[in-house]
């Protein structure tokens, strides 16, 4: 059985659905590996403009697979094959959206953090409960989350292990929007369609520049932004975009 279901709601948009419902979509090595492979294929597909990650009805992912974690040692945790999958997911160059319903906990939240936009349905619960097991996040929960929501909310989530709801996630900057329960995927599709209508090279450079802002000092990020901006000058997308604007028509990117 495939652990990641690949769906094509439109020619330009790909949906990857986590498919371990019997384990509440717990992220094991095989699932993360399938997800990394699917994203690698999507990255090379010129027709794919955006990807949406989602889970089942009322569930995104309840965390990592404890049956695998229980056997980890200090040494094996540093050579875990899941590390390569996580790196591949985080380095996906195209827009990656997360449609979150229900539980989004531990590794599930870290998977959402690897996405560029998170849309949450009412009733969603987002949290980092690892401390309740004598553990801590190991795939971005303490390294990336503070950059997104600030120190206080990151500490609150990681130190208490208590989740927050959809409205709190939006207020804290973790999620872009909250929608009615069951509506996260629909809203992600709307946003993905808006993204897909734009110049794909420009979109990829925008994503790259914003990620640079999280990884570089401001002065360096400004230099890189200008370099990316300069690289778009003289390109076919710019010419088409301006011609379409002046001609009062939709651009054909």
> What residues act catalytically?
64, 107, 110, 130
Cα 106 to its chain centre, rounded Å, is 14
């Amino acid at each position: 059985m495939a652990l990641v279901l690949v769906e094509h709601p439109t020619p330009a948009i790909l949906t990857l659905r986590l498919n371990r419902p019997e384990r509440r979509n717990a992220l094991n090595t095989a699932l993360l590996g399938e997800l990394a492979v699917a994203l690698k294929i999507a990255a090379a597909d010129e027709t794919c403009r955006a990807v949406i990650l989602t889970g089942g009805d009322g569930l995104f992912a309840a965390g990592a697979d404890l049956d695998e974690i229980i056997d980890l040692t200090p040494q094996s945790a540093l050579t875990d094959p899941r590390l390569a999958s996580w790196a591949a997911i985080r380095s996906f160059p195209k827009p990656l959206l997360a449609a979150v319903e229900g539980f989004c906990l531990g590794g599930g939240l870290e998977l959402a953090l690897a996405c560029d936009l998170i849309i949450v349905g009412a009733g969603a619960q987002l949290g980092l409960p690892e401390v309740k097991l004598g553990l801590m996040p190991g795939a971005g929960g303490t390294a990336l989350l503070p950059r997104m929501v600030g120190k206080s909310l990151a500490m609150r989530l990681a130190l208490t292990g208590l989740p927050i709801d959809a409205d709190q996630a939006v207020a804290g900057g973790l999620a872009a929007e909250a929608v009615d329960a069951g509506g996260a995927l629909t809203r992600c599709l709307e946003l993905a369609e808006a993204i897909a209508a734009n110049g794909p090279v420009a979109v990829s450079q925008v994503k790259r520049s914003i990620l640079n802002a999280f990884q570089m000092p401001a002065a360096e990020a400004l230099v890189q932004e200008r370099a990316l901006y300069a690289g778009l000058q003289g390109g076919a997308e710019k010419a088409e975009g301006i011609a379409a604007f002046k001609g009062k028509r939709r651009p054909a990117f």
